[in-house]
Structure 1
Amino acid sequence: MTVEHSDFRSDTVTRPSSAMREAMAQAPVGDDVLDGDPTVQELEREAARWLGKEAALFVPSGTMANQIAVSVWTRPGDEVLLESHAHMLSYESGALGALHGVQTMTIEGEGGVMTREQVEARIRPDFVHCPRTALLCLEQTHMSSGGRVVPIERFHGPLLAARDRGIPVHLDGARLANAVVASGVSAEEWARQVDSVSLCFSKGLGAPVGSVVAGSAEFREKALRVRKRLGGWMRQSGIIAAGALLALRENVDRLAEDHALAKQLAEALHAMDGLVCPPETVHTNIALVRVEHPELSAVDVAARLFENRVRVMPLDPHHLRFVTHMDVGAKDLERLVRSLRGIMTA
């Protein structure tokens, strides 16, 4: 018999609800390559409205959404500006160079925050010996810093630097819905000044698969060709688009529950000897915990938690990542806290 674990590894482990499974089973579908799939088209229209963009394109994954944008905005030999811990740089398998032949210029941000001055200093001059600065990429929320929200007033600085030089901006908005709920700033406002934006439905929003990339109608036309090139064309994809559509309509506001649980988790763990997780660093549904134990590493703690039916992701020898989502609740937090107290005091 399978033993159920409390799974705090990621918000991608969620399972579709009964209502979502029913919506997927009943979804009107068509061949999205030949004649169009009506459910996909409905999702693309609704996602575009939510993001305040003219058009959106449904794709299998967030990585593909981001890489489509890079392909549209750059050509081989160009340079892309990113924060040094950006997901697109660290966790998309080297796609920037492998797929597009671009190089990167990184900026050391603070919790994902870059300044206007930092961006301006790294934009290349128009000089034959230099690569062309072709794209600035931003991320909201910033995953590597623990799902932190870049404040809107600090979000605008890098945008203005790029605007002044005519450089397009792409926003990796995989967890943009979390930023919307945490900040009270609408998705349309976050995306207003960027040229393209991605959004993932299979993280905290609870769909089993799917993302969109959005921008102008012209951007979408170019993105269609790139999606084909990357193998992202799908046929009766309304079956999965229906899950994403329900997620967008019904699961955004409930992210507040995940944020509250992550804050409770941080408070409980920070109070334990040997664990450091200041609650004020938890903005959304991700808590990064530093293990300061004389004999146990983060990997050791994760292994012992697993024995207690709790799953968590060790990031390195000193840090654990906990992510809250719709499939964990108060009882899972109780199990986690009880298990950790035993491990840390043994």
Structure 2
Amino acid sequence: MIVDLRSDTLTRPSREMLDAMMTARVGDDVFGEDDTVKALEQQIATMFGMETALFCPSGTMANQIAIKCLTNPMEELITDQTAHVYRSESGGIPFHSAVSVRTLRGERGKITPALIAPEINVDSITAPRTSLVVLENTVNWGGGSYYTLAEISEIATLCHANALKLHLDGARIFNALTETGDLTINYGQFFDTISVCLSKGLGAPVGSVLMGNGELIKKARKIRKVMGGGMRQAGFLAAAGIYALDHNIGKLKADHHHARQLASALKGQYYVKSVMPVDTNIVIFEVAENYQTATLIRQLDRHGIKCLEFGKQRIRFVTYLDITQEMIDETIMVLNKLELPEKSSGN
């Protein structure tokens, strides 16, 4: 048995999702003629109380388009130091938008009005004008930590008072909503743009959606084109997104349960120093100093368990739609029986 816990991007479409894809009505989306793409865009925009939306090939593209739309060159955005837009999008912010980034040290990736307020630059000949705040929900590097709508409301109030735009990188937003119970419809009032990934926990093979008002999405559509994101008969992919929204959101709770089972098993292991609190479907743990992370990863791989190194002495597990209880049980059995050599004195 192979248990691949490297990422929830590894989901594969179910037979039912494939059937929906193969029967989709398609057209040329660059010409605005793909009915299935338009249906997906309208469905998710309505869910989040936004005016309209744009289907994109990836979450990175959706985020970078949003930042390009909401900023001007020589401005600055504020986000956490671990934010995906800053840490994991290949330097896209300065490359695409000529914007600098003010990073904050939040609590497990979550920033607050108290952290943001002192870092807002006013107009100055020497400093970039702050124009945008970016939040991530859930926070990947924070071990799946999440914002509640009440916390978001406080940040939005600060942004509004300072004429700042607010973007949500909602790659795993449905994981957050599964835990908070907040309603999607209430999100749109707080954000200028929201990106949502369909190809992680929801199980679609490709795609993210960027939401905003009509004028902004019109601009975003042209930016998507210049970035090479016009996908022509994209309805086959959009159909998978529609199926995911209709059928897979309710399955995320099982992923969270599986993640907590793994965390519980890790806490008792001699080779684990600490386990980050598990809020959703991400488990990050720190390997004890006298053991090598690379050795542990190799040992797990030999037993059919795949995982990801996630910083110095850290490893990440991610649960998702294709991970079954049987796989979790197998992983826990392997964790319990591992015999890991200590570092040699020469290392």
More deviation in 44-53 or 333-342?
333-342
2:25 maps to 1:28 = yes
Equivalent residue, structure 2, for 1:292: 288
CA distance in 2, matches of 1:278, 1:286: 11
2:269 maps to 1:233 = no
2:103 maps to 1:103 = no
Unaligned stretches of 5+ residues in structure 1: none
What pairs up with 1:2-21 in 2 under 5 angstroms? 4-21=1-18
Aligned-residue offset at 1:162: 1.2
Equivalent residue, structure 1, for 2:320: 325
Aligned-residue offset at 1:277: 4.9
What pairs up with 1:177-216 in 2 under 5 angstroms? 177-216=174-213
Whether the aligned pair in 2 keeps the contact of 1:274 and 1:344 (CA below 8 Å) is no
Q: Secondary structure at the match of 2:187?
A: helix
CA distance in 1, matches of 2:115, 2:329: 43
Whether the aligned pair in 1 keeps the contact of 2:289 and 2:313 (CA below 8 Å) is no
Superposed CA RMSD in Å reads: 1.4
CA distance in 2, matches of 1:202, 1:179: 16
CA distance in 2, matches of 1:108, 1:159: 19
2:150 maps to 1:153 = yes
Whether the aligned pair in 1 keeps the contact of 2:108 and 2:139 (CA below 8 Å) is yes
Structure 1 pair 298–234 and aligned structure 2 pair: CA distance change class (3 A): same
CA distance in 2, matches of 1:345, 1:175: 34
TM-score (norm 1): 0.95
What pairs up with 1:49-88 in 2 under 5 angstroms? 49-88=46-85
Aligned-residue offset at 1:27: 0.5
CA distance in 2, matches of 1:345, 1:304: 8
CA distance in 1, matches of 2:340, 2:317: 20
More deviation in 265-274 or 78-87?
265-274
Unaligned stretches of 5+ residues in structure 2: 342-347
What pairs up with 1:272-283 in 2 under 5 angstroms? 272-278=269-275, 281-283=277-279
Q: Would you say how many aligned residue pairs link Structure 1 and Structure 2?
A: 341
Whether the aligned pair in 2 keeps the contact of 1:8 and 1:324 (CA below 8 Å) is yes
Structure 1 pair 134–24 and aligned structure 2 pair: CA distance change class (3 A): same
CA distance in 1, matches of 2:53, 2:107: 31
More deviation in 69-78 or 196-205?
69-78
2:251 maps to 1:260 = no
